[in-house]
Amino acid sequence: MPGQWYHFVGIGGAGMSALAKILLAQGYRVSGSDLADSKILQRLRNEGAEVFIGHAPENLQEGVGVVVFSSAVPPSNVELKEAQKKGLPVISRGELLAQIMKQYKGIAVVGAHGKTTTSSMISFVLYRNGFDPTIIIGGEVNDIGGNAALGSGEYLVAEADESDGSFLHLEPYIAVITNIDNDHLDYYRTIEEIEKAFRTFIEGVRPDGFVVMCGDDPRLRSINPQGVEVITYGFHEDVDFRAELIFQEGLRTEAVVTYRDHPLGRLRLSVPGAHNIQNALAAVAVGIRLGLHFPEIARALADFRGVQRRFQEIACLNGIKIIDDYAHHPTEIKALLEVAQALRPSRLIVVFQPHRYTRTLFLQEQFGTAFQRADLVIVTDIYPAGEKPIPGVSAELITREIKKNGQPVIYLHQMQEIVEFLAEECRPGDLVLTVGAGDIWRVGKNLAENLKNPYSCVEKVPWTGKN
């Protein structure tokens, strides 16, 4: 790849930090900037990156060869302006991932929902069975202790990003597609445009490669790729790798797996929900296609410990269980609440932080019906994720839609309000579920602190509801 020194504008993001970590491991010099410090940035410093807090032209030091930016960084950013002024190459996160993927047999995982867990499962199956893959994922994988790892093998497993079309830069050996849904409509505008982008992505698969896709998804089935080997998975009767759910209790899920009606064996997971059986089937399909046997794959998946912020238990105190999840789309929230209800809590109390103004605007009605399994919903302010406010768009839109559907719902602005309300409201047997892709996880952490010490509701982690 060109250049020996890469500078990342927005280095603290999940995808950007993973790429930076891989470049550091490959011996490149890495610097970067972000608006606020974090554990991710501290880890990058420990691995050799030079990190600046705040964006400034002088962060682009003499010797920087390539500047990398993410879709969250606006064109007006002062460091991008400085790079243009200096005539430095400026590339997107997706372009850098494509450059790295060319060094490997790339396994690119895309889809509206489940891609972080699916890519993590595939990575773990390959790692456990001696493939030693390089891994670039948009979440903190418990089994690798982070979101990226440089392996010595020929495969790269990467979570690709369809939200801004950047996955179209990739030419993977294997394309894994979990589903298509009406998300990122600020970029695509229509579901037809999203489907067109996925068709284009499939056309970019290497001639010797193949596609693994969920046959339960009607939009994926309608694409019907031609000219490439396609392997399907799911619960549908006519898929290649099919699961029949036979057991689901608490955090354990079990299914019987067949390949074109030939029995393969049982799949036992310690991550909950039918959707995770689907995710695991993608890993089964990839593993078997690469020469593994089902028992080898099943043993690895039985030990898979999940991804942070995916149904992550924060605490269980005074009989009150606190769980955090990254779900931020109505489809994900419905699946999440189904899993939570399977734990049979006395009451399911959901604290929801909407993510992005555009998603709130486009999907407000769908959000209104997503919480029907909850006994109480608390909605707080939108996490902007770098977006500018849209006039008339606020968390109260979702609050009104939930209320229209007869659900008990309240709106609370400040985190401190939420923590104090929950500390007073919750009783033994309740499950508190914090939901959203922003920083709503802080509510669970602070509530746990409060329950440990009920006479002090000091906010241990500052939170403003802003990015």
Query: Which residues form the catalytic set?
Result: 115-116, 159
> Can you read off the two tokens belonging to residue 258?
């067949």
Q: Which helix (H) or strand (E) holds 137?
A: strand 134-141
Q: Which helix (H) or strand (E) holds 39?
A: helix 39-46
Bridge partners of 263, per DSSP, are 258
SS3 267: strand
- Residue type, position 308, single letter: Q
CA 100 to chain centre: 21
For residues 403 and 407, give the distance between their C-alpha atoms in angstroms, rounded to a whole number: 5
> Can you read off the two tokens belonging to residue 151?
């392996």
Write the DSSP string, 8-45.
EETTTSHHHHHHHHHHHHTT-EEEEEESS--HHHHHHH
> Can you read off the two tokens belonging to residue 270?
């310690």
SS3 368: helix
Alpha carbon of 212 to those of 31, 116, 156: distances in Å?
36, 16, 16
Strand 347-352 versus strand 430-435 pairing type:
parallel
For residues 396 and 210, give the distance between their C-alpha atoms in angstroms, rounded to a whole number: 45
> Can you read off the two tokens belonging to residue 319?
């009989």
For residues 255 and 274, give the distance between their C-alpha atoms in angstroms, rounded to a whole number: 9
- Residue type, position 449, single letter: E
Angular region, 414: left φ>0, alpha ψ -120 to 50, beta rest? beta
> Can you read off the two tokens belonging to residue 412?
């609370």
For residues 353 and 307, give the distance between their C-alpha atoms in angstroms, rounded to a whole number: 20
> Can you give the length of the chain in residues?
467
Per the listing, tokens 């243009």 go with 84
